[in-house]
Amino acid sequence: QVQLVEYGGGLVQAGGSLRLSCVASRSIFNIHAMGWYRQAPGKQRELVAVITSSGSTNYADSVKGRFAISGDSAKSLVYMQMNSLKPEDTAVYYCNIGADYRNYWGQGTQVTVSS
């Protein structure tokens, strides 16, 4: 079965950058959208960024201008460049790929931003 593998999380200082990556263990067909969610301690999960198979993107207001999502749906790859990181960006980040009949989720990767 398909699983999404995430990597690129870690500990950075405020103002620093990280690049998250997500790749499916097997090709996923008929992808509609790919995105990243995050869940911070004591807070509900939120959508951070999404990119459709046509290349359209959308971002949470809190990360606009700082984060950039990119990917290749044909290769089941999605990335997110995170710049100017803030302590409030600290969370577990989850990759998501939505296909015709199923949503796939990554295992989560921890991003910690120190002040």
- Beta pairing, strands 109-114 & 91-99: antiparallel
Task: Specify the pLDDT at position 1.
Answer: 84
Which one, of 44, 43, 71, lies nearest residue 57 by Cα? 71
pLDDT for 113 equals 98
**Could you tell me the strand order of the sheet in which 18-24 lies?**
4-7, 18-24, 77-82, 67-72
Residue 29: its pLDDT value, please? Answer: 94
The pLDDT of residue 115 is above 90: yes
**Tens digit of each residue's pLDDT (9 = 90 or more) over 10-65:** 999 999 999 999 999 999 999 999 999 999 999 999 999 999 999 999 999 999 99
Are 81 and 67 within 8 A, CB to CB? yes
pLDDT tens for residues 66-97? 999 999 999 999 999 999 999 999 999 999 99
Position 76 scores a pLDDT of 94
Residue 20 burial (10 A CB sphere; 0-12, 13-18, 19+): buried
